[in-house]
């Protein structure tokens, strides 16, 4: 799927529309994504700042998809775990950016060369218009090369 079409679909996807998350940019090579969250009455919490679930949802599913598109079909890529730490109240529009580069891809390729599983963590910061950090999100992804026989489509929790 082309990045522009995927961006359009994600912006219509009900969980993102309801949360107020907007995908603003996906690079043609899938190695950069920028998302925004605009404060509305529907995504504020009791004290009037961004609902934490909306902030957390900004980071899902982009890194997994970026790696899938960049590594190709010979790799299994799954979201493994995630955590969030709220740094300051989120007001107005906040942004998260995701980047992967060739050295990160090379790291995954090398770590899975012999068929081993590999976990790689990625810090993601959600920032406000002033560049101040609102939340720190840690996403950990699971990688493994597919079995040449095609039988390794199991999730990381299945013991495969």
Terminal C-alpha separation, the chain: 28
Residue 54 host element (H or E): helix 52-57
pTM comes to 0.87
- What are phi and psi for residue 41, nearest 5 degrees? -65, -25
Which CATH number covers residue 64?
3.10.129.10
State residue 156's pLDDT score. 56
Contacts of 20 (CB under 8 A, 6+ apart): 37, 38, 39, 40, 42, 43, 54
Tokens of 31: 């190695």
Domains held by the chain: number = 1
State residue 157's pLDDT score. 54
Are 66 and 47 contacting, i.e. CB atoms less than 8 angstroms apart? no
Cα separation of 85 and 104, whole Å?
24
10-residue stretch averages of pLDDT, the chain, 160 residues long: 92 89 96 94 87 91 95 96 96 96 97 95 97 97 81 51
Contacts of 99 (CB under 8 A, 6+ apart): 31, 32
Domain of 24 in residue numbering reads as 3-158
């Amino acid at each position: 799927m082309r990045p522009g079409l995927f961006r359009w679909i994600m912006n219509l996807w009900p969980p993102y529309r309801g949360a107020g998350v907007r995908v603003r940019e996906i690079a043609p090579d899938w190695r950069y994504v920028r998302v925004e969250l605009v404060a509305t009455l529907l995504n504020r919490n009791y004290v009037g700042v961004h609902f934490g679930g909306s902030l957390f949802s900004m980071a899902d599913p982009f890194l997994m998809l970026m790696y899938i598109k960049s590594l190709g079909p010979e790799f299994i890529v799954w979201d493994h775990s995630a955590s969030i730490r709220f740094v300051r109240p989120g007001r107005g529009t906040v942004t998260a950016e995701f980047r992967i580069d060739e050295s990160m891809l090379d790291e995954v390729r090398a770590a899975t060369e012999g068929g081993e599983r590999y976990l790689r963590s990625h810090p993601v910061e959600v920032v406000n218009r002033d560049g101040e950090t609102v939340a720190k999100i840690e996403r950990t992804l699971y990688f493994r090369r597919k079995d040449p026989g095609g039988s390794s489509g199991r999730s990381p929790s299945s013991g495969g």
